[in-house]
Amino acid sequence: MAPRIAPLGIDNVFFRVADLDLAVAFYEGCGLRLKFRVDAKNMALFSIGDEAPGLVLSCDQGPQGGRLWVEVADAKAVADGLSLSDVAVRLFDTATGLTCEVTDPDGNVLGFADYRHRPELARGAH
């Protein structure tokens, strides 16, 4: 019998990138805050809000084409803001709200999801 596993939340999300400088600039442009960078290891870690988990970009590890969605208050506002900076944006409806997705130069997808259809599930609703 397999052990019962009870995940407590996201640890880190890893995206493989070809050019660390280009990737760092892209994610800073999407509003993520660079927490630290280790050039000797070809990696950078971005904070996501006030949570301990982060987004790790690395030239040396992980599959390409990762996907990460983060919760935001208003996905439409995010989409509008990113559209102004010439970033290709895909905005669509989900069961819980709207999601805005952008794709970085290496094929990783970053989504900004809100809970407008299910506000009781949003962070801070409890």
- Listed in sequence order, the residues at least 6 apart from 102 whose beta carbon sits closer than 8 Å to its beta carbon are 30, 82, 87, 88, 89, 90, 109, 110
Average pLDDT (21-32) is 94
Mean pLDDT of the chain: 85
Q: What percent of the chain has pLDDT over 90?
A: 42
Beta-bridge partners for 32: none
- pLDDT per residue over 31-85, tens digit each? 999 999 999 989 999 988 887 678 888 887 655 678 888 888 899 999 998 988 8
> What are the start-end ranges of the H helices in 44-93?
75-83
Q: How confident is the model at residue 126 (pLDDT cuts 50, 70, 90)?
A: low
